[in-house]
């Protein structure tokens, strides 16, 4: 493989932070909080000061394992003097309620995806944050990592010419093989599109800009799934949502993205994402990870070339979106609530189209987030997870 280009950007943040770290209060101390705590521990710009959960024992366990963190009730955390930003790691059904309470308390908020359980709720969260003048960020922040950002730099540098199309492919046999409580993946609000789609559509919006319409089709192969692991192994879970979703998104630029998201397939050799332009084709790494190889095939070239890392946070982990929010004191965070709202709107529109059997216009839009210059973080990244 040849090297396509070899340029780097400086590593300075684009705005200066206030004196002292931004103080973080975590609400929701479940599975994914471990990855955030590992990332935040290596970022001097951020300091976790408090943790809360519906289950107080979970918050106490986080406090016991992390010096400087105290366990609080949820209301006390939102009111605490030493919490500037609430990191909302609760389950999707609670995202809006927790975000709205934090905004009402005057706190900045960064939360896991999706921004809310529905587009209508997500719009209320964005409006409340704007009215209160607080910053609102939303996962995924994998899109700020060196993989996606290097791919984006190829596009922004014009190496593909005008982008024409993209493909986004996520095919697995389903999460019930490894997840001990997979019920929510097979109920409305779950399925492959709402669970994994945020990574892919956030990446497509960063690469190709906002989406104006969606055409979808969807199916499911089985009416129940069998849990593979844990105390409920062998138990059957009803399937009440579609488990194979496919469709075409039309971007405002005119580019067309084809999505295939499935819990009904065994395996695939397709790229997670490819982008095709008039002068080249690009392989984009898995958008559920922060890094990975970017490959460029120029028109008339002699095959796929490895593109050197040229942009984004190196060695990223879940939480770099919060670092970005902390540093952009006078600008919207890149992994913003507005992007999170648009992504959810696109996903819902695709499902709506599949149900109605016709094209659906996407009502809202967002700005394409700013690119991330090459940034070095401080240590090795924790592993990504689904
Ligand atoms: N598990 C993963 O691998 C993974 C990966 C990426 C993103 N996510 C996202 O992270 C979020 C959390 O997922 P998880 O796997 O950590 O779930 P989890 O069930 O392990 O943890 C969620 C925690 O939130 C708490 N909680 C629920 N409602 C609450 C409320 N109203 N107030 C306070 N605490 C509340 C629960 O008690 C629980 O401890 C989800 O949005 C999910 O999509 C998860």
Question: Is the per-residue pLDDT at 12 higher than 50?
Answer: no
Distance 30 CA to ligand 1 centre (A): 5
Work out the percent of the chain whose per-residue pLDDT is above 90: 86
Distance 28 CA to ligand 1 centre (A): 6
Distance 203 CA to ligand 1 centre (A): 22
Question: Is the per-residue pLDDT at 186 higher than 80?
Answer: yes
**CB of 92 closer than 6 A to ligand 1?**
yes
**CB of 99 closer than 6 A to ligand 1?**
no
Pocket perturbation via mutation, ligand 1, pick of 32, 37, 196 by most ligand atoms within 8 A of CB: 32
Is the previous residue joined to 114 through a cis bond, with omega within 30 degrees of 0? Answer: yes
Model confidence at 16, pLDDT cuts 50, 70, 90, reads: very low
Distance 90 CA to ligand 1 centre (A): 4
pLDDT digit string, tens, across residues 95-138: 999 999 999 999 999 999 999 999 999 999 999 999 999 999 99
Please list, residue by residue across 15-50, b when 16 or more beta carbons sit within 10 angstroms of its beta carbon and e when fewer do. Answer: eeeeeebbbbbbbbbeeebbbbbbbbbbbeebbbbb
**CB of 189 closer than 6 A to ligand 1?**
no
pLDDT digit string, tens, across residues 275-300: 999 999 999 999 999 999 999 999 99
């Amino acid at each position: 493989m040849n090297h396509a280009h070899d340029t780097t950007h400086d590593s300075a943040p684009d705005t200066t932070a206030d004196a002292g770290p931004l103080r973080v209060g975590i609400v929701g101390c479940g599975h994914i909080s471990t990855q955030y705590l590992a990332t935040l521990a290596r970022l001097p710009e951020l300091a976790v000061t408090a943790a809360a959960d519906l289950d107080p024992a979970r918050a106490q366990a986080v406090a016991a394992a992390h010096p400087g963190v105290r366990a609080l009730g949820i209301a006390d955390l939102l009111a605490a003097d030493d919490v500037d930003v609430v990191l909302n790691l609760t389950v999707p059904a609670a995202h809006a309620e927790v975000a709205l309470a934090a905004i009402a308390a005057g706190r900045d908020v960064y939360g896991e995806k999706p921004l809310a359980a529905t587009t209508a709720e997500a719009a209320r969260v964005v409006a409340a944050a704007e009215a209160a003048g607080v910053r609102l960020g939303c996962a995924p922040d994998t899109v700020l990592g060196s993989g996606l950002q290097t791919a984006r730099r190829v596009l922004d540098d014009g190496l593909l010419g005008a982008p024409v199309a993209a493909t986004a492919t996520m095919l697995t046999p389903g999460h019930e093989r490894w997840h001990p409580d997979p019920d929510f993946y097979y109920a409305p609000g779950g399925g492959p599109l709402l669970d994994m789609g945020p990574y892919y559509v956030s990446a497509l919006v960063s690469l190709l800009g906002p989406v104006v319409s969606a055409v979808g089709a969807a199916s499911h192969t089985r009416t129940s799934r069998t849990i593979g692991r844990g105390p409920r192994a062998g138990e059957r879970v009803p399937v009440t949502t579609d488990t194979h979703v496919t469709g075409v998104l039309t971007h405002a630029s005119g580019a067309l993205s084809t999505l295939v998201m499935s819990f009904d397939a065994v395996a695939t050799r397709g790229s997670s994402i490819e982008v095709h332009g008039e002068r080249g084709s690009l392989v984009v790494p898995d958008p559920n990870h922060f890094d990975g190889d970017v490959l460029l095939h120029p028109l008339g070239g002699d095959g796929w070339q490895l593109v050197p890392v040229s942009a984004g946070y190196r060695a990223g982990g879940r939480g770099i979106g919060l670092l970005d929010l902390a540093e952009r004191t006078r600008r919207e965070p890149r992994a913003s609530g507005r992007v999170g709202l648009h992504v959810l709107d696109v996903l819902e529109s695709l499902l709506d189209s599949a149900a109605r059997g016709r094209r659906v216009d996407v009502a809202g839009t967002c700005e394409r987030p700013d690119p991330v210059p090459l940034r070095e973080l401080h240590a090795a990244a924790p592993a990504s997870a689904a």
